[in-house]
Amino acid sequence: MDRLTLRRPDDWHLHLRDGAMLKAVLPETARHFARALVMPNLVPPVVTAADAADYRDRILAAKPRGSDFRPLMTLYLTEDTQVPDLRAAAEIGLVTAVKLYPAGATTNSASGVKDFTKVRRVLENMAQIGLPLCVHGEVTDPEVDIFDREAVFIERVLDPIRRDIPGLRVVMEHITTADAVDYVRDGGDDLAATITTHHLVINRNHILAGGIRPHYYCLPVAKREVHRKALVAAATSGEARFFLGTDSAPHLDAAKLMPCGCAGCFTATNTLSILAEMFEREGALERLEGFTSLHGAAFYRVEPNDARIVLSKGEPVRYPPGILTEDGVVTMFDPGFPLHWRVEG
Ligand code: NCD
Ligand code: ZN
């Protein structure tokens, strides 16, 4: 097979940032994706309906001419989130999901949740109206090893919340472990997971063996090879509960390449080439469309996109090493192997 037609994909977990960064990264996503669920971890975060409306306007204003890309907005859950504001935002279709960051878990998560009992009423309301909760699934307890934080989160936080609030629709974001794959697989219809492009490609050796590679550092941090394999198996399984959320998370090189560098891999530009290569290796190219274009839409209860993209296979595609913003360079994720699939047009 050397040509593949897919419904236009959606990215169910994306960081677009703001200002000069937004302007530089938005075209990279809009080129291939019809819609993206936009993460709210700006500084200050997108907390209220008014914040989300303003941010959406800034994104639409930064859209390349002629693009029909649609940002789907999220609210950043805090211990002060107001139920009426959130319900109103959901009712008018302004927000598609609410994002839970445990305080301190990742980039710009300082306003996140410390005491989960304080958001119980909000979560109950979300269960009532079917508004999904996107979860950054890592505990922040310094006693817990960083490589165990996802598995411990499932046991200590996520499972208790789901038992406490039946009917709450949850997306475990950017899963990185076989534990999460198993938990999501057994979790019933209200539970799904996004998987990133980079977690299908790298394990922790890529970050640390033979020299430290800051551009492979993201959160949750990549785990052992057995976990990467479990993610590949889940993504290529055709199971509707697993779908693409790239977690493309641009940071300037100046912020990545320093003694305390930022977490995040920038994958918006070459994601589809990488995924096609990975799915082909697994003999699962016919399941790529489900992962990129159908399963996420079904979970979020929206129609899949009518438009199509065509991927074609040929000589290795050359991507630039990064993109330029007005403030500096953002290095592109390097999968470390040649990419033969390109999106036509
Ligand atoms: C994300 C970011 O930079 O905003 N970083 C990352 O490593 N994935 C935050 C996140 O999704 O955890
Ligand atoms: Zn993210």
String of DSSP letters for 258-297: STTPPP-B--TTTHHHHHHHHHHHTT-GGGHHIIIIIHHH
107 has a pLDDT exceeding 90: no
In the structure encoding, which two tokens stand for residue 58, read together? 């800034």
Catalytic hit among 10, 179, 190, 247 = 247
- CA proximity to 82, closest of 116, 119, 136, 53: 119
Measured from the CA of 108, which atom of ligand 1 is nearest? 4
1 has a pLDDT exceeding 90: no
Give Cβ neighbours of residue 132 (< 8 Å, ≥ 6 apart). 96, 97, 98, 126, 169, 170, 171, 299, 300
| Per-residue model confidence (pLDDT) at position 257 | 98
Tens digits of residue pLDDT in 225-243: 999 999 999 999 999 999 9
State the distance from the centre of ligand 2 to the C-alpha of 2, rounded, in angstroms: 32
Of 11, 25, 99, 106, the residue with max ligand 1 atoms within 8 A of its CB, to mutate for a pocket test, comes to 106
Matching residue, tokens 């008018």:
92
Q: Average pLDDT in the 250-254 region?
A: 98
Contact 111, 103 (CB under 8 A): yes
The residue ranges of every structural domain in the chain are: 3-343
345 has a pLDDT exceeding 90: no
| Per-residue model confidence (pLDDT) at position 70 | 98
Enter the DSSP assignment of 254.
H
Q: Whose CA is nearest to atom 5 of ligand 1?
A: 264
Of 15, 99, 101, 246, the residue with max ligand 1 atoms within 8 A of its CB, to mutate for a pocket test, comes to 15
Residue 161 identity: I
Matching residue, tokens 């139920």:
83
Question: Model confidence at 144, in pLDDT bands (50, 70, 90)?
Answer: very high
Q: Average pLDDT in the 217-221 region?
A: 98
- CA proximity to 336, closest of 232, 222, 198: 198
In the structure encoding, which two tokens stand for residue 63, read together? 């859209």
- CA proximity to 76, closest of 53, 49, 58, 56: 49
Average predicted confidence (pLDDT) for the chain: 97
CB 14 less than 6 A from any atom of ligand 1: no
251 has a pLDDT exceeding 90: yes
- CA proximity to 175, closest of 241, 130, 238: 241
* CATH of segment(s) 3-343: 3.20.20.140
Measured from the CA of 173, which atom of ligand 1 is nearest? 11
- CA proximity to 138, closest of 168, 102, 113, 170: 102
43 has a pLDDT exceeding 90: yes
Residue 247 among the catalytic residues: yes
Q: Average pLDDT in the 319-332 region?
A: 98
In the structure encoding, which two tokens stand for residue 119, read together? 């958001």
The total of other beta-carbon atoms located within 10 Å of residue 286's CB is 11
Measured from the CA of 101, which atom of ligand 1 is nearest? 12
Give Cβ neighbours of residue 159 (< 8 Å, ≥ 6 apart). 183
In the structure encoding, which two tokens stand for residue 101, read together? 């960051």
**Which ligand is located closest to the Cα atom of residue 37?**
2
| Per-residue model confidence (pLDDT) at position 324 | 98
Tens digits of residue pLDDT in 262-275: 999 999 999 999 99
Q: 0.85 exceeded by the pTM?
A: yes
| Per-residue model confidence (pLDDT) at position 105 | 86
Q: Assign 30 to helix, strand or coil.
A: helix
State the distance from the centre of ligand 2 to the C-alpha of 110, rounded, in angstroms: 14
CB 41 less than 6 A from any atom of ligand 1: yes
State the distance from the centre of ligand 1 to the C-alpha of 4, rounded, in angstroms: 31
106 has a pLDDT exceeding 90: no
11 has a pLDDT exceeding 90: yes
Q: What is the percentage of the chain residues whose pLDDT exceeds 70?
A: 100
110 has a pLDDT exceeding 90: no
Question: Residue 212: phi, psi to the nearest 5?
Answer: -85, 130
Question: Residue 6: phi, psi to the nearest 5?
Answer: -125, 150
| Per-residue model confidence (pLDDT) at position 86 | 98
